[in-house]
Amino acid sequence: MAVFGAVVLAVALNPVIPLIPKSGPQHAPRTEHAAQRLKGRTVECTSLRPGLAQTLVRHMVKSLERRSSRVSIALYDRNSHTSCTYRADVHYDSASTVKPIVLGALLLARGSGLTVEERSLAREMIVNSDNDATYALWDLLGAERIQDFLDRAGLEDTSLNEAGFMGLTQITAREQVKLLQLLTGADGSVLGMTERSYVLRLMREVQDDQRWGTPSGAPPDAVVQVKNGWLQRSEKGVRSSWDRGDWKVHSMSAITGRSYDYGLVVMTENNRVPEGASPEVGCDYGMETIERVARAVHRDLHPTEANEVHPA
- Lowest pLDDT segment from 27-41, 112-126, 298-312: 298-312
Rounded average pLDDT over 75-85: 98
Which residue did the predictor score with more confidence, 127 or 307?
A: 127
Task: Indicate the pLDDT class of residue 278, thresholds 50, 70 and 90.
Answer: confident
Rounded average pLDDT over 73-101: 98
Task: Indicate the pLDDT class of residue 275, thresholds 50, 70 and 90.
Answer: confident
43 in helix, strand or coil? strand
Question: According to DSSP H, which parts of the chain are helical?
Answer: 52-64, 99-110, 116-127, 131-141, 143-152, 173-184, 193-204, 280-301
Domain made up of 17-22+29-301: CATH architecture: 3-Layer(aba) Sandwich (3.40)
What's the residue count for the chain?
312
Task: Indicate the pLDDT class of residue 272, thresholds 50, 70 and 90.
Answer: confident
Provide the residue ranges of all domains of the chain, joining segments of one domain with +: 17-22+29-301
Quote the pLDDT of residue 27. Answer: 65
Rounded average pLDDT over 177-198: 97
Its sign, for the CA torsion 104, 109, 110, 112, is positive
Quote the pLDDT of residue 276. Answer: 74
Distance CA 47, CA 34 (A): 9
Task: Indicate the pLDDT class of residue 7, thresholds 50, 70 and 90.
Answer: very low
Task: Indicate the pLDDT class of residue 280, thresholds 50, 70 and 90.
Answer: confident
Distance CA 188, CA 46 (A): 27
Residues in contact with 254: Cβ distance below 8 Å, sequence separation at least 6, in sequence order? 180, 183, 184, 200, 203, 224, 225, 262, 263
The torsion of the CA quartet 58, 60, 65, 67, rounded to 10 degrees, works out to 170
Amino acid at site 202: L
Distance CA 143, CA 158 (A): 13
Closest CA to 122 of 223, 205, 214: 205
- φ, ψ of residue 73 in degrees (nearest 5): -135, 140
